[in-house]
Amino acid sequence: MKINWFPGHMKKALREISSQLKNVDVVLYVLDSRAPLSSINPSLNRLIQGKSILYVFNKYDLSDKARVKEIALNFKKENSDFVYINSTSSGSSKSIKAKILNLSKTKLEKAKQKGLKAVVRVIVIGIPNSGKSTLVNNLCGKAKATVGNKPGVTKMVKWLNIGDNIEVCDTPGTLYPNLENQLVAKKLLFIGSIKDEIIVDKVELAQEFITLMQAKYNNNLTSRYGEDLTLEAIAKKRGYILSKEEYDLERTAQAVLDDFRKGKLGEITLD
């Protein structure tokens, strides 16, 4: 099962992001805390070299917080910082604005010395379905960006004023042309950053998810499904039965993936 997803609008988005970066002071790099390392896009990394970066560990409420904190320490450098948030919660924008202004303090101080008030320009980037547009709406204090609980909702670059002399550019979620690391690709599928529709064998995908989870979060699985973690056993427990001797494994596989995505399996970080 080879996983790859790079539709035409992502290629276009990378070009637009590249053209906007010359006018940007701070990059808001949104990572999904359930798989933060897999959320890193090499194509974006090449584009943002030399920029001040605020790494936003979003969906923190669904994550293994101890693991996320361990990972986040590697993102704290001279011209970068990080913050943990749940972008759907009101008030999460305050800490982000403060860090944006801190990363822009050199520009702001120079402008102040000249008696001017500088505008700080910020671009929001990240993989699909990481919560970028929800974060932008939170920063704005109202819905200005289109959101949806699936990848590929935002299709174009959009600049918005969020107050405090800060302008934010919302961008489409982007992956990269060749997902060579298939374990990373699977994690992106698990968290919903790649469309389920591109996968033919969802049963195989769910089985691989269970295998991956057993290594670190077996208790999370058994507390919800019991000791027998085969899809047949889960289907039987859920009552997903097609006939006397046949289980609805497709429905069971989707249910397992949905349970993870909705946080019903507890706080998990797949790295």
The predicted-structure confidence for 151-172, as pLDDT tens digits, reads as follows 444 446 778 888 888 999 988 8
Asked if 157 and 179 count as a contact pair (C-beta separation under 8 A), the reply is no
Tokens of 54: 């605020």
User: Over the Cα atoms of the chain, what is R_g?
Assistant: 20
pLDDT over 90 percentage in the chain: 65
**46 Cβ partners below 8 Å, 6+ apart?**
none
Residue with tokens 């290629």: 11
Which residues 6+ apart lie within 8 Å of 207 measured at CB?
231, 253
pTM for the model? 0.90
Question: 149 burial class (0-12, 13-18, 19+ CB within 10 angstroms)?
Answer: exposed
Mean pLDDT for the chain overall: 89
Q: Of 24 and 161, which is predicted with more confidence?
A: 24
Site of tokens 């693991």: 67
Q: Specify which residues 30 forms β-bridges with.
A: 56, 126
What gap in Å lies between CA 58 and CA 168, rounded to an integer?
A: 17
Give the confidence band of 54 by pLDDT, cuts at 50, 70, 90: very high
> Taking Cα atoms as reference points, which of 110, 130, 108 lies closest to residue 121?
108
User: In this model, does residue 186 exceed pLDDT 90?
Assistant: yes
Residue type, 146: T
To 10 degrees, what angle do helices 182-190 and 202-225 make?
A: 60
Per-residue pLDDT tens digits for 248-259: 999 999 999 999
